[in-house]
Structure 1
């Protein structure tokens, strides 16, 4: 039995991180998920394994092109087998890139679904901040300095949360740029609902940025009806886009 002088301590294991170097540069690194308790070597290995399969799938076409390059390097017109190796490698690579073009519309649809879900989360977060701000009444703390400090702190936290949401919206910008590039490749192969979503999402982002910046609608005024209505309209728009994309299968 432990005495008062004894300290019960269960030390976490000292783990050695693992990584896999990628041919394009960069590495896949093992990640510790602290939400699942103390990590072990096995949890690090499992996390890295989950990253490895999609990473290898993404470089499959590159590896096939590399085979063509290597075959060209070893070409010898006096050896028919070297010509055959080039033809075989090139045919394999061509099939790969044909599949890539076919799969791009599916990738666009998946990205659109992710963006819609992400924007809906931000909208819900803004609504939560508004509800939180509506519960702050500095007048209740006029004669209570401690409560006044707490309410001021709560207001500052709400403002900080709003600033974080503005930063979170900026993460969408590079994805929208990627979509423009993919659209140039997919062209007419992209279904109508996906085209509509691609055009509508930037408008939703701009309106949400305006709301968070306090222009047009004001997050700074608790319970502002215009803000609530704007958020509801944006959410309805996103849900309609989501339903149309889900219908594509």
Structure 2
């Protein structure tokens, strides 16, 4: 249905996670606190708040969503009313919502700068034709990042996480992967869903830092919390 995006989460400030903590489920609070650095705690808290915001806007579901976890740890809504997938990097946070299973990923192309990756690692990630395309691209790191987020979205769709057959992941014919750019920000995002006739890319909805702060205030003023979370 929608891909919610918050850009530049650092605008929220390093203390944002502290203010957000009461609006998170018990599971998400524990996950946030497991991170060592404030920046990572903010990203984890923002991802959950985007989920709450999206569920309220798209499905009328308010409060902390009640979730169950699959055999590989993938969360899903207990009532099965919607599928969701969360992802974040230092420059963006995304939440994909759809009627069925969905997987989403976002990353910045600098993660694929040549000094960070050797040829052996690239060969473990990309099929020969993919690696050739990356090497021929005018911006190789960004091309590699786009392929990586596509592969990661498939892995998150299945719930299995990163697999040994990463070079072949995009050869699947039972899924559709849509990719998203962000106007020169160096960000790549991808969403994976089950392939079916007439399927269109999820529309993108950008949420500003101010809008998320407003939503958090609403949550804190009217939410009693929940038992489980994503």
* Interval of TM-score (by shorter of Structure 1 and Structure 2): under 0.3
Larger strand proportion of the pair:
2
Larger helix proportion of the pair:
1
TM-score (norm. length: structure 2): 0.24
Which structure's CA Rg is the greater one? 1
Q: Tell me which of the two structures has the higher relative contact order, counting C-alpha pairs closer than 8 angstroms and 6 or more residues apart.
A: 2
TM-score (norm. length: structure 1): 0.23
